[in-house]
Structure 1
């Protein structure tokens, strides 16, 4: 075992040096070798130090069962932090670990340099440990069942936030909307009053709450719900902080995995591999980048787009040179630029070409009878459909329209419908959770079968009109 560790350490140093030669700029790396139970627990929770909840356990059981039956496998797990932690799976052979090591060096480069990660905290490992401890304290004080019920409700709407952004200053806008501005002394000062008293509603009955629709449902409920206790507001603040940390990872899945795949190939090619290692690497890489039948494989599509960008900017056509669209010789510089500024939506919209759609067979399919048939071949419509599915990380865009609906303190939400209907079953299961958080009837306006429909829950039953 000691000899294996020494071989692995040499491989890490060699890959580190090669990644640096290619110009990758990453955080200091910390590698840990862990058993399958541990790596799948981290994969289910998203972080080694996160609070416990039954939904994470459900994800762990599903992932671990697929691993046990050799149906799927986590090859790498890396955390966006400084230093950057990467976990290697015990039982991987040396060539598998070499590929993973090369892959996570590129991930760390992406975390450090992509603009969408700038607002995120780099010490969330410690922060989530603090959150977990506070939630354990609340379980001891108020009862584990009581806290679990509240977590169920909070997690049901956790994606409905205003994501961190370096462009819009979204947090400042949220503060303006509340009508409560005060100097910030802690990270939570902008979320609720720290004097131990719930926020009072503005007394001016004529003022709409919020003044304009707000996407950050979680923050709005946290600030304005008349029923929440301080410990419940604290939990909402923690969940909001954690999902804002994960958001950039969710909106850069294709470009991030594509970047890491693009580089692990080039790094591995520079290593002094044996003939057997070369064959094993080729097989493993083929497994990782195998095109998906029912959904996009981000490793495959992302890396192919990067390769296409590098080719087009390195060797433009004679016509492009003549029109000075692309002078040539800028392939490597261009992909580093793309890595720095794009997310999945802009990556696909700006760089998914007609030729790539055809090469990658990204046409839209639909099951008719017992067969899947192509229903759309226009490459721009295919691209736009993919982009629409990734907008807002694939979650429906719902805003808080009115926090004092009909002057009864009821909550009115509106789905910004853009051609995709909500899942009615999921909607009707979620509204009672929103009611639990708000404490009064809640309404959600959306479009069903082309007609404006309002779903409501009054604490006893769902209704629609």
Structure 2
């Protein structure tokens, strides 16, 4: 075991130096070798330390079962933090660990330099440990069952937050408070009435809508405005919201992030002094990583192929590209570093997924017709736009808080920003009771079903549709 640690340590040092030579700029990375049970527990919870909940146990059981039956495997787990923590799977052979180590350094470079991670807390490992301790304290004080029921409700809507980052909408910065706004003087002599001691007429009352404009941050709005929540419940909602904001940039950069890591692990490993057997093993392993997906796109494959195409087109542009876009050539490597810094999955596919790549990767859109799945679209632009549409809001329904005082009864009115994909009605009907528990009063959700505007309501007794 000691010799294995020394060998891995030497590999880390060699790969670290090679990654630096390629220009990767990453946080300090600490590696730890873990048995499968530990690694899959980290994978299920998303972090080494997090509060306990039955959903995490369900995820762990599913992933561990797939590993036990050799259906899938987590080779590594890397945490976006400074320093960066990476966990290698005990039992990997040396070439597998070398590939994973190179992959991790590229991920860390992406975490550090991509603009969508600029608002990410780099000490979230410690923060989540504090959250976990606090929730255990609440379980002791209020009862495990009481806290679990509340966590169930919050986790049911945890994705409905305002994304962090440089482009996240800050409602409070765009609202002008009419009550504190200076009132325009009607005559040049209005100030004299103040000097005379006469009371200033109060501004006319305004019926202000709550919220003033629809807000996407459902978790934050309910946390701040629910009339029923106790202080500890608001604090739990704040914790889960903070954790979801940490995970959000990773969710909206899955393809470009994994593509960047796959692109670089291949180039770094090729620069190492491998034995013939290691070369064959690496080729086999790399091919399995880039194997096309059956029911969904493989982010490693699509992302790395796009980066390779960008590098080729900016390094050796065609005559048409030179004339049309003014590309001079020799800019391939600098261009992919630029793309790595400023794109997310949506803009990455929108801007750089070309006709040639769609055809090469055999990408298409399909849907279930009757009992069979059939291809419904192969036009490259429609395929690209279809893939992009599924990535909007990280694939979650876009739902806003429309009115928190609906019909002047303090009821919560939510609205689904319908863009062609209907909500799952069974999931919707199971989620509304959770929202009711958090708000404490009837909840309504407007959406489109079969082309018609439909409102679902829950009043604490039963769901109804109108």
TM-score normalized with structure 1 length: 0.93
Q: Is the 8 A contact 1:178 1:210 kept in 2?
A: no
* Distance in structure 1 (CA, Å) of the matches to 2:140 and 2:169: 35
Which SS does the other structure have where 2:359 is aligned? Answer: helix
* Distance in structure 2 (CA, Å) of the matches to 1:57 and 1:317: 53
Deviation at 1:320, TM superposition (A): 1.8
Cα RMSD (Å) = 1.6
Correspondence for 1:130: 130
Kindly provide the CA deviation profile for residues 133-152 of structure 1, in whole angstroms up to 9, marking residues without a partner as x.
00000000000000000000
Correspondence for 2:186: none
Kindly provide the CA deviation profile for residues 257-294 of structure 1, in whole angstroms up to 9, marking residues without a partner as x.
00000000000000000000000011111111100010
Correspondence for 2:61: 61
* Distance in structure 2 (CA, Å) of the matches to 1:302 and 1:275: 28
Correspondence for 1:163: 163
- Structure 2 counterparts to residues 136-151 of structure 1, below 5 A: 136-151=136-151
Q: Is the 8 A contact 2:76 2:88 kept in 1?
A: yes
Correspondence for 1:21: 21
Deviation at 1:176, TM superposition (A): 4.4
Which SS does the other structure have where 2:390 is aligned? Answer: helix
Deviation at 1:178, TM superposition (A): 9.7
Q: Is the 8 A contact 1:164 1:171 kept in 2?
A: no
Residues 370 and 445 of structure 1: CA distance in aligned 2, closer, same or farther (over 3 Å): closer
Kindly provide the CA deviation profile for residues 112-157 of structure 1, in whole angstroms up to 9, marking residues without a partner as x.
0000000010000000000000000000000000000000000000
Correspondence for 2:419: 418
- Structure 2 counterparts to residues 6-405 of structure 1, below 5 A: 6-167=6-167, 170-171=169-170, 173=172, 176=175, 206-368=207-369, 372-405=373-406
Correspondence for 2:4: 4
Which SS does the other structure have where 1:170 is aligned? Answer: coil
Residues 135 and 161 of structure 1: CA distance in aligned 2, closer, same or farther (over 3 Å): same
* Distance in structure 2 (CA, Å) of the matches to 1:94 and 1:304: 26
Deviation at 1:96, TM superposition (A): 0.4
Correspondence for 1:453: 454
Q: Is the 8 A contact 2:120 2:165 kept in 1?
A: no
Deviation at 1:364, TM superposition (A): 1.2
Q: Is the 8 A contact 1:177 1:211 kept in 2?
A: no
Which SS does the other structure have where 2:159 is aligned? Answer: coil
Which SS does the other structure have where 1:78 is aligned? Answer: strand
* Distance in structure 2 (CA, Å) of the matches to 1:446 and 1:239: 26
Deviation at 1:319, TM superposition (A): 1.9
Q: Is the 8 A contact 2:76 2:86 kept in 1?
A: yes
Q: Is the 8 A contact 2:415 2:445 kept in 1?
A: yes
Which SS does the other structure have where 2:391 is aligned? Answer: helix
Kindly provide the CA deviation profile for residues 152-176 of structure 1, in whole angstroms up to 9, marking residues without a partner as x.
0000000000010213x53453794
Deviates more, 1:405-414 or 1:314-323: 314-323
Deviation at 1:318, TM superposition (A): 1.3
Residues 453 and 393 of structure 1: CA distance in aligned 2, closer, same or farther (over 3 Å): same
* Distance in structure 2 (CA, Å) of the matches to 1:30 and 1:134: 27
Residues 248 and 324 of structure 1: CA distance in aligned 2, closer, same or farther (over 3 Å): closer
* Distance in structure 1 (CA, Å) of the matches to 2:70 and 2:134: 38
Kindly provide the CA deviation profile for residues 373-410 of structure 1, in whole angstroms up to 9, marking residues without a partner as x.
32111111111110010010000000000000000000
Which SS does the other structure have where 1:453 is aligned? Answer: strand
Kindly provide the CA deviation profile for residues 68-115 of structure 1, in whole angstroms up to 9, marking residues without a partner as x.
000000011000000000000000000000000000000000000000
Correspondence for 1:197: none
Deviates more, 1:359-368 or 1:253-262: 359-368
* Distance in structure 2 (CA, Å) of the matches to 1:430 and 1:370: 28
Residues 120 and 178 of structure 1: CA distance in aligned 2, closer, same or farther (over 3 Å): farther
Which SS does the other structure have where 2:464 is aligned? Answer: strand
Q: Is the 8 A contact 1:316 1:326 kept in 2?
A: yes
Kindly provide the CA deviation profile for residues 314-354 of structure 1, in whole angstroms up to 9, marking residues without a partner as x.
11111222345311110000000000000000000000001
Q: How many residues are matched?
A: 442
Deviation at 1:459, TM superposition (A): 0.1
